[in-house]
C-alpha cells in the first residue's frame, strides 16, 4: 500500500464544514422509482447508496442523498449545481447522471451511473500496473476532466476516491465521480474562472489558490494542480506535501528538476516523497514540476495539455515541460531514430543524416546563390523523402524534430532568399499535411503565399494554395476553401498552358467542394471534364490527379447510392494505382481500399467489407501516425463492418474500435466535427445493440445536440433522429421515440430518397413505436409501406 498523508488532508471540505450527519433513520427505504439496497459511502454533502431502479427500466444505480433537508440552503444549492453540471456531460470517463428530485422530507437526491470500480490508487496497486500503464490510465482521466472543462465545469475535488477504475477487457477504464463541489465556468478578464464563491475540495489535493480563496479566482488550472498531485501519487506511491506547506512543496519541485537535494528543513515524510520522485525519468519529473507549480501561470493551461505532454513522453518525443535545448532535442531525435533502425528502417537513418547535412550545408552556403540553390534542391528532395508515401513505413515521429529544426533555421537565416525559402517551406508544409499535422502545415503554406505574393502564377504559389484548400476541406471549412480555390483557378486559367497541372489540380478541388456541398451532379461534371483533359494514358505529373479524380467519381456515386457504379470506379482506380510504379500509389491504394470497403458496407456485404477494410487499415497504419485523419476514418469504418455482421461476439469486438475512432476524432477535430458526430452516433448504435441502453441514449443525445454543426443537407441530420429514436424505444419511451423516428423518416426522405435503407429501418422502428402506444392501424400501414419499399429496392 502507498503511504498516505494525515486524515485531515483526505477530507472534503465545503464552506469549511464536514459531514451533515445524515442518520440512518432519516433515510427512506424507497425514493421515487428507486429501492435503496445499501450505503456505499458518505462525505461532506451526504451519503451515496446502491439502489435498484424499478421502472421504467430495471438497473442498479448510485443514489446520492443530500444531508441537508432544505433545498434552498448551501447544500441544496451545491446539489443543484452538481445536477445541472452532470446532466450536460457525456464522456466515457465521467459517471452519467440519470435522474434527480427531492424526497417527501425535503432532501434533494439524484440517481447516477453506478460505477463498478475501486479508487485509482488501490486499483493500480492491486493489479500491479507498471509505469506506462499507470500513465495511460491517467491520460484517460485527463480526457474526462478536459471534457468537463469544455462543458464549463471545474471539478475542484480530484483525488483517488473520486476516480474509480474497473477492468474492461483487460484494460483499466476510469470513471470520475462526485462533482458535488464542482463549479461552473464564466469569462472574467479574458480567462475562464469559477462562478461560485465557496471554497471546496480535499486539502491534500487542493491547489494553492483554492486553499487561499476566494473561489472566484479559481480556473481550470486548479484541476491541473490536483491532477499533478494524483499523477505524483500514481508514479511514486507517495503524495507531495500539501499546497499549504509552500516551503516543502517548493523544495520538492526543486528536487524534481534536479536543482536541489532534500534539506534538513524537510520532515521525513516529505523527504522520502522527494527522494522517490528523483528516481523518475527526467521528462516525468519536469512534467510533475510544471503541473504542481504554485503559480498558475507556470502550470499547464489545461488537462489536455498535461495529457499531450505525457503522450509525447510515451512516444519518446520532445516533452514541452523540459527546457528547450539543442542537446536535449538531438538526444530525443536519436532515441526515436534508434527505434526506427531497430525496426529495419536503416534507410530512414541515412535519409535523416543526409537531411541534417543538407540543411546545414544550405545555411552555410547561403551567401553563394548558385551553390545555395543546388543544396536547396537536394534538401527539398530529402525533406520529401520524409513523406510517408516515400519513406515506406518509417515512423513519422522520428522525423518531426528534424522538420521543426529545419523550418526554424530556414526562417531565421534565409530571410534574404525568399525563393529558396519558399521552396523548402512548401515541402515542409506538404509533409506536415501528409502526416496529418494540419495546423503546422498551414503555418508553412501560408508563409509560402506571403513570400511569393509578387509571383502569384508560380508553381509554388498555386501548389501551396491548393494544399491549404485541401486542409480547409478536411477541417470542414468549406466556404473558405471555395473562396481560395476560385481565386487560384482564375490565376491558373490566365496563365495556361504553363500552369496546366496546377489548373487541373485546382479544378479537381473545386469538384471536391461540390461533393462536400452534396452537389453530386455538379461534382461529377467537373470530374468528367478533368478526365477528358488528361486522357486515358497521362504523363506522370497528372497521373495522381487522374487516379484521385477516379476515386472522387466513386465517392460521388456512393453518396448518390449508385453503389454498383461506385464500386466500378473504385476498382478502376485501384487497378490504375497498382499499375503505377511510384511511391505515391501506395498511399492512394490505402485510401481506395477504404473506399471500396465502404461501398461493400452499404451493399450489406459486411464480411467482405471487413476483409477489405482490414487490408486498407494495415496499409494506413504502416504509412501514418495512429491519429492521422485517414487512420481515424478507417477505424470507424472497420468497426461498422464488424458490428453489422451481428452476434454478441462481433458487437463486443466492434466496441473498442468505435470508442478509439470517436476519441481520436474528438481529440483532433473537436466534438462538433462531422466525423466526431458520426462516430458518436455509431457508438450509440453499438451500445444499444449490446443492451447498454443508458450509454446508447447518452451518445445519441449528444449526436443530436451536435447536429447543428453539420451542413443542412448532411445525411446525419436524419440519422441522429433515427439513432435517438431507436434508443428511446429500447429504453421504454415510445412517445419520445415516435417523434424522433418520424423526424428521421421525413429528413432522410428529403436528403437521400424514400427507398434508402436507413429510412426503411426508421419506418419499421416507427411502426414499433406506434404499436407500443396502441396505434395499431398506423403501425400496420407503416410496415406495409416499408415492405413495399424493400421489395422495390431488391
Binding region for ATP: 64
Burial of residue 371 (number of CB atoms within 10 Å: 0-12, 13-18, 19+): middle
* CB-based contacts of 364, cutoff 8 Å, min separation 6: none
Query: Which of helix, strand or coil describes residue 497?
Result: coil
- Residue 153's DSSP bridge partners are 184
Q: Give rounded-to-5 percent helix, strand, coil for the chain.
A: 65, 10, 25
Task: Please name which of 789, 791, 767 lies closest in space to residue 778, comparing C-alpha atoms.
Answer: 767
Residue 706 Cα distances to 674, 679, 720, 721, angstroms: 9, 12, 9, 12
Give dist(CA 231, CA 465) in Å, integer. Answer: 44
Give dist(CA 225, CA 203) in Å, integer. Answer: 12
Q: What distance separates the 2 farthest-apart alpha carbons in the chain?
A: 92
Give dist(CA 177, CA 95) in Å, integer. Answer: 6
- Residue ranges of the annotated binding site are 64
Give dist(CA 674, CA 662) in Å, integer. Answer: 11
* Residue 289: all three cell numbers together: 514540476
Give dist(CA 236, CA 240) in Å, integer. Answer: 9
Give dist(CA 379, CA 352) in Å, integer. Answer: 11
Query: Which of helix, strand or coil describes residue 118?
Result: strand
Give dist(CA 380, CA 357) in Å, integer. Answer: 12
- Residue 85's DSSP bridge partners are none
Give dist(CA 490, CA 301) in Å, integer. Answer: 44
**Is the distance from CB of 639 to CB of 682 less than 8 angstroms?**
yes
Give dist(CA 660, CA 136) in Å, integer. Answer: 14
Residue 697 Cα distances to 98, 187, 363, 693, angstroms: 11, 31, 59, 6
Give dist(CA 118, CA 534) in Å, integer. Answer: 64
* Residue 588: all three cell numbers together: 492512394
Task: Please name which of 211, 202, 108 lies closest in space to residue 162, comparing C-alpha atoms.
Answer: 202
Task: Please name which of 230, 205, 208, 232 lies closest in space to residue 219, comparing C-alpha atoms.
Answer: 208
Give dist(CA 14, CA 154) in Å, integer. Answer: 15
Amino acid at each position: 500500500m502507498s503511504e498516505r498523508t494525515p486524515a485531515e488532508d483526505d477530507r472534503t471540505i465545503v464552506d469549511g464544514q464536514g459531514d451533515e450527519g445524515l442518520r440512518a433513520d432519516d433515510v427512506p427505504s424507497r425514493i421515487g422509482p428507486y429501492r435503496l439496497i445499501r450505503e456505499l459511502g458518505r462525505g461532506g454533502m451526504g451519503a451515496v447508496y446502491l439502489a435498484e431502479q424499478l421502472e421504467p427500466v430495471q438497473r442498479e444505480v448510485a443514489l446520492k442523498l443530500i444531508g441537508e433537508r432544505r433545498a434552498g440552503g448551501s447544500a441544496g444549492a451545491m446539489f443543484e449545481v452538481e445536477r445541472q453540471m452532470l446532466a450536460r456531460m457525456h464522456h466515457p470517463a465521467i459517471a452519467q447522471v440519470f435522474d434527480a428530485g427531492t424526497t417527501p422530507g425535503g432532501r434533494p437526491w439524484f440517481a447516477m451511473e453506478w460505477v463498478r470500480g475501486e479508487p485509482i490508487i488501490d486499483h493500480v496497486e492491486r493489479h500491479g500496473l507498471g509505469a506506462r500503464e499507470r500513465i495511460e490510465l491517467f491520460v484517460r482521466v485527463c480526457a474526462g476532466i478536459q471534457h468537463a472543462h469544455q462543458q464549463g465545469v471545474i471539478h475542484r475535488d480530484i483525488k483517488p476516491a473520486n476516480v474509480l477504475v474497473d477492468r474492461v477487457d483487460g484494460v483499466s477504464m476510469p470513471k470520475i465521480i462526485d462533482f458535488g463541489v464542482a463549479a461552473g465556468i464564466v469569462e472574467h478578464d479574458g480567462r475562464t474562472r469559477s462562478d461560485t464563491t465557496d471554497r471546496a475540495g480535499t486539502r491534500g489535493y487542493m491547489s494553492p489558490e483554492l486553499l487561499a480563496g476566494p473561489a472566484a479566482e479559481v480556473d481550470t488550472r486548479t484541476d491541473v494542480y490536483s491532477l499533478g498531485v494524483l499523477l505524483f501519487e500514481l508514479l511514486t506511491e507517495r503524495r507531495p506535501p500539501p499546497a499549504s506547506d509552500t516551503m516543502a512543496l517548493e523544495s520538492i519541485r526543486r528536487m524534481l528538476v534536479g536543482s536541489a537535494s532534500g534539506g534538513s528543513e524537510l520532515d521525513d515524510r516529505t523527504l522520502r516523497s522527494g527522494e522517490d520522485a528523483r528516481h523518475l525519468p527526467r521528462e516525468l519529473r519536469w512534467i510533475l514540476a510544471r503541473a504542481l507549480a504554485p503559480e498558475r501561470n507556470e502550470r499547464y493551461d489545461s488537462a489536455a495539455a498535461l495529457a499531450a505532454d505525457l503522450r509525447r513522453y510515451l512516444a519518446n518525443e520532445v516533452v514541452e515541460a523540459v527546457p528547450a535545448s539543442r542537446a536535449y532535442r538531438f538526444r530525443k531525435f536519436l532515441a526515436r531514430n534508434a527505434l526506427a533502425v531497430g525496426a529495419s528502417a536503416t534507410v530512414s537513418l541515412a535519409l535523416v543524416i543526409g537531411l541534417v547535412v543538407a540543411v546545414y550545408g544550405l545555411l552555410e552556403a547561403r551567401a553563394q546563390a548558385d551553390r545555395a540553390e543546388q543544396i536547396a534542391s537536394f534538401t527539398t528532395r530529402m525533406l520529401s523523402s520524409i513523406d510517408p508515401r516515400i519513406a515506406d513505413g518509417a515512423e513519422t515521429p522520428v522525423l518531426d524534430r528534424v522538420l521543426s529544426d529545419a523550418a526554424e533555421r530556414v526562417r531565421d537565416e534565409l530571410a534574404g532568399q525568399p525563393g529558396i525559402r519558399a521552396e523548402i517551406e512548401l515541402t515542409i508544409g506538404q509533409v506536415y499535411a501528409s502526416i496529418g499535422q494540419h495546423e503546422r502545415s498551414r503555418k508553412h503554406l501560408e508563409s509560402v503565399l506571403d513570400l511569393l505574393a509578387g509571383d502569384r502564377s508560380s508553381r509554388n504559389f498555386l501548389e501551396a494554395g491548393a494544399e491549404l484548400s485541401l486542409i480547409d476541406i478536411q477541417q470542414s471549412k468549406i466556404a473558405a476553401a471555395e473562396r481560395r480555390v476560385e481565386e487560384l483557378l482564375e490565376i491558373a486559367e490566365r496563365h495556361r498552358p504553363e500552369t496546366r497541372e496546377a489548373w487541373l489540380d485546382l479544378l479537381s478541388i473545386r469538384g471536391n467542394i461540390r461533393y462536400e456541398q452534396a452537389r453530386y451532379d455538379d461534382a461529377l461534371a467537373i470530374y468528367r471534364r478533368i478526365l477528358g483533359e488528361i486522357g486515358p494514358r497521362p504523363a506522370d505529373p497528372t497521373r495522381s490527379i487522374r487516379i484521385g479524380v477516379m476515386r472522387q467519381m466513386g465517392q460521388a456515386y456512393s453518396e448518390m447510392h449508385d453503389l454498383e457504379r461506385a464500386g466500378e470506379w473504385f476498382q478502376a482506380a485501384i487497378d490504375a494505382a497498382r499499375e503505377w510504379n511510384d511511391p505515391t500509389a501506395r498511399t492512394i491504394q490505402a485510401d481506395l481500399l477504404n473506399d471500396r470497403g465502404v461501398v461493400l458496407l452499404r451493399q450489406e456485404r459486411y464480411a467482405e467489407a471487413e476483409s477489405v477494410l482490414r487490408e486498407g487499415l494495415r496499409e494506413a497504419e504502416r504509412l501514418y501516425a495512429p491519429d492521422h485523419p485517414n487512420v481515424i476514418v478507417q477505424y470507424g469504418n472497420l468497426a461498422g463492418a464488424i458490428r453489422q455482421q451481428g452476434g454478441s461476439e462481433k458487437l463486443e469486438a466492434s466496441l473498442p474500435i468505435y470508442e478509439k475512432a470517436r476519441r481520436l476524432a474528438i481529440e483532433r477535430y473537436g466534438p462538433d466535427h462531422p466525423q466526431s458526430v458520426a462516430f458518436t452516433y455509431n457508438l450509440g448504435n453499438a451500445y444499444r445493440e449490446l443492451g447498454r441502453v443508458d450509454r446508447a441514449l447518452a451518445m445519441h443525445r449528444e449526436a443530436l445536440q451536435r447536429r447543428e454543426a453539420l451542413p443542412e443537407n448532411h445525411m446525419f441530420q436524419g440519422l441522429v433522429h433515427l439513432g435517438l429514436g431507436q434508443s428511446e424505444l429500447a429504453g421504454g419511451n415510445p412517445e419520445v421515440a415516435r417523434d424522433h423516428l418520424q423526424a428521421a423518416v421525413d429528413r432522410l426522405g428529403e436528403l437521400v430518397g424514400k427507398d434508402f435503407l436507413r429510412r426503411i429501418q426508421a419506418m419499421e422502428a416507427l411502426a414499433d413505436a406506434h404499436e407500443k402506444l396502441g396505434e395499431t392501424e398506423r403501425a400496420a400501414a407503416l410496415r406495409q409501406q416499408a415492405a413495399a419499399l424493400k421489395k422495390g429496392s431488391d
